[in-house]
Structure 1
């Protein structure tokens, strides 16, 4: 079955080779943009303000100007072979590898607005100090160790639906670790609780990459994700709290002797 399906694909076309090369260059530029050990990163010599999105756009633009295989010069088509110059797109005679018609008809603009709106909410939550306020109120909570772990997992699980994992960890991590030390709880245990709970995001498309991939198929609505994701969230909160409170200590041991984290 797989052999016949592979044979039906035919040879790799010129357009596919160009897109693959463009993607490989993009990945290399992404990984080498920032410092790696002694390598300072190429952004230092080009523009320090460049981000991953800007690099992605810069590598997308050439695809609007590179012609498709059937528009290549005769000598180049003869060198590549006629089969490699055949287009496999829905448009029978595309002029360039990428054009505005393809972007307008194939790109799911709803995803852009959903994800962009989620990022704006996340940015506002962090910059308005709302996330920090929640973390500080959480630190004032008076309860036993399991209750504290449960509330931490519950709050982090709720916040990470609209705030990125990294921002959630950066905001809550140090405060929860310091609070755990003052209360006599295991700091490593609580930090792992924050880390695990930051990945318990199943309800909204902007909560994480896998959610967005599923939503982008067009087969799953936000309502469906919310209705089913809340069940996953509840299960993750309960099972995660039990695992962190009672099972994890028997595996990792106790780290209550650690000094509190120092503010940077």
Structure 2
């Protein structure tokens, strides 16, 4: 656990998290269902070779950076990844319970792979569908980028009317740019937030 935390902190301190997040931002244009399946499958594979805690520590800050980069509801990215961190069925290294079972000597690697691949496929497909529908119904991830996710160092909540996902809003998130006093709306417009009502 400590190693995963240290790795995640290193990613954040070196700004590698933000850099990877910016590179992955293009993947968010594939539609939420496809994105959910992509994230679930990707994290499911990653968590097979690292512990689920380390996977979460590394992946979640990256996905949070992606959500801010494209001003997409963070839970649309974080929920699939968080749940998929527990889809560790194929290898003993993936999670301590697998290692305990493997340590008994009654099962070999082939046994894990045979059972695990089926479970991983089922978990990725069924998990993606459940997460997709639950995230929309329970957490409203199809809504605009929420105010609670707009942090002072990276985002401003501005009183600026517009349309987001076909819904008219009176205020919205505006991601800060490198230029001082400027921020970017979800539609790509650049604003001088100092002249608006900003948080």
TM-score band (shorter)? 0.5 to 0.7
Structure 1 residues 149 and 178: CA distance shift in structure 2, 3 A: same
Question: What aligned pairs does 1:173-184 form with structure 2 within 5 A after superposition?
Answer: 173-184=60-71
- 1:139 paired with 2:25, answer yes
CA offset digits 1:152-187 (Å, max 9, x no partner): 111111111111222212221122123234434321
2:83 corresponds in structure 1 to 196
The answer to whether the Cα contact below 8 Å between 2:67 and 2:74 also exists between their aligned partners in 1 is yes
The answer to whether the Cα contact below 8 Å between 2:21 and 2:63 also exists between their aligned partners in 1 is yes
Structure 1 residues 135 and 159: CA distance shift in structure 2, 3 A: farther
Alignment RMSD: 3.2
Q: Measure how far apart 1:250 and its partner are.
A: 1.4
For structure 1, the residue ranges without an aligned partner over 5 or more in a row are: 1-50, 53-118
Instruction: Name whichever structure is richer in helix by fraction.
Output: 1
1:252 corresponds in structure 2 to 139
- 1:208 paired with 2:95, answer yes
Structure 1 residues 225 and 145: CA distance shift in structure 2, 3 A: same
For structure 2, the residue ranges without an aligned partner over 5 or more in a row are: 155-199
Q: Distance in 2 between matches of 1:232 and 1:138?
A: 27
Structure 1 residues 217 and 173: CA distance shift in structure 2, 3 A: same
Q: Measure how far apart 1:134 and its partner are.
A: 7.2
> Pick from 57, 68, 81: which aligns with 1:170?
57
Structure 1 residues 203 and 169: CA distance shift in structure 2, 3 A: same
Question: What aligned pairs does 1:1-264 form with structure 2 within 5 A after superposition?
Answer: 137-141=23-27, 142-254=29-141, 256-257=145-146, 258-260=148-150
The answer to whether the Cα contact below 8 Å between 1:139 and 1:175 also exists between their aligned partners in 2 is no
Q: Distance in 1 between matches of 2:23 and 2:115?
A: 29
TM-score (ref. length: structure 1): 0.45
Q: Distance in 1 between matches of 2:46 and 2:106?
A: 26
Structure 1 residues 244 and 171: CA distance shift in structure 2, 3 A: same
Q: Distance in 1 between matches of 2:87 and 2:31?
A: 23
Structure 1 residues 134 and 182: CA distance shift in structure 2, 3 A: closer
2:166 corresponds in structure 1 to none
TM-score (ref. length: structure 2): 0.59
Between the two proteins, the alignment pairs up a number of residues equal to 140
CA offset digits 1:17-72 (Å, max 9, x no partner): xxxxxxxxxxxxxxxxxxxxxxxxxxxxxxxxxx99xxxxxxxxxxxxxxxxxxxx
The answer to whether the Cα contact below 8 Å between 1:153 and 1:193 also exists between their aligned partners in 2 is yes
